[in-house]
Amino acid sequence: MAAVVFALVLAGLLFWLEQESCVHSLDDLQGLLETDDFLAEADQPVNLRLTVRNSGPHWKSFVALRLHLGRELTPCSMDHLTRDCAGQGHTVRCTAWLRPQQEASFKVAVRVGQRGRYVLEPLQLIGGDLLGLKTQSRTERGFHELVVPPRECDLPELDGLMGGFLGGISVNRYLYEDPILTAGYREYTSGDPMRAISWKQSVRGRGLMVKKFDYTTEPRVVVLVHADSSRYTQPERVERCYSMARTVCRMLEEKAVSYRFALNATFDLLMNATVTAGDEWKKPLEVPQGYGPEHFRRMLEMLGRATGQTVLSCARFCAEYYHPQEQVSCIVVTTEPEEAVRAAVRPLPGIPLLVLTPEMAVETAQTGEAGA
């Protein structure tokens, strides 16, 4: 009889422990999803790091992390992965047991093949009883994304054009106005940019006054990108433009040429750049004059987030973001005909202008195939 009572008490105790361990299985647990870098190159591995930490005083006998990967994310290996039956991607599931104040981390490498912005689904934290028979889950807070910039284009013709353009800048001793070096003031004339107006001088009763800038021999370039997918049935034209724009900026970086970059497009939600908006940012964005790793990185993020839908017409975009009075060389990468661009962008005599269109890539590819 005593043995039966003992067995019943032991079974009741185990049942109570089982229930308590499940009810409190998620207490003091924190799940975290991190990426090496939100800016990811196409077809290059990106590490997703899943971490769970037990900050409480009790052991956790069963803990699991679950993350669903969409079809756009291709896993580099099948460790901790199962393929969804509906073909909608893969599911990552990692399990562990944790001592008090212990954490466990898991890495999953994925690739993304196409340019664009990809939002990662939230991480799910799963806890259960001592035997893992009964579980409960919680979705962790947090927002994670991957932004994939375009690939570079491999066009010998572009190399030649850029080489001639950069050579023209280096040998041209045309003196450029430097907006930092103010040499004096003069009266406003039609065509002067609004940002050149000196309001302090203007309120003194002499009318609108603009700054006169001193000169510098430092070469400067404006890169304008206008790629409109709404006017064409071939979206690859836009992708070629974005790839050419990246290659152009990389060449400018290699020559340490200061450049301002402007992109006429709508953009997906900006979380990591300097602008935060709603679901879409509907105006052109630009990176100020400069060069260097951070400058180049900001340009790549803009190209990765661009939707391919323009906000302004090509003529208006060029008029608002390029001013001949600045005496700056200009490169325009566009889906529009070259003649229309040259009619909209009219630099002063002696200032180089280079217009690049996606037809260059097509013509080069066809020439290569014919030669082969």
Q: Which domains does the chain have, with CATH numbers?
A: 28-148 (2.60.40.10), 156-175+217-371 (3.40.50), 181-214 (no CATH)
Cα angle for residues 302, 306, 311 (degrees, 5° grid): 110
Q: Which residue matches tokens 């790629």?
A: 227
pTM strictly above 0.95:
no
Q: What is the largest CA-CA distance in the chain?
A: 111
Does the CA dihedral 93-141-132-35 come out positive or negative?
A: positive
Ordered per-residue pLDDT tens for the chain, 372 residues: 777 666 666 665 555 555 555 556 788 889 999 998 999 999 999 999 999 999 988 888 789 999 999 889 989 888 877 776 666 788 999 988 889 999 999 999 999 999 999 999 999 999 876 665 677 888 988 888 999 999 998 777 777 777 777 765 554 444 455 555 555 677 777 777 777 777 677 767 667 877 766 555 567 899 999 998 876 657 888 999 999 999 999 999 998 889 999 999 988 765 444 444 444 567 888 999 999 999 999 999 999 999 888 989 999 999 999 988 877 889 999 999 989 899 888 887 878 889 999 887 544 334 334 333
- Give the whole-angstrom CA distance, residue 343 versus residue 120: 44
User: Tokens standing for 64?
Assistant: 């699991």
User: Tokens standing for 242?
Assistant: 């974005």
Q: 229 CB contacts (<8 Å, ≥6 apart)? A: 235, 237, 238, 308, 309
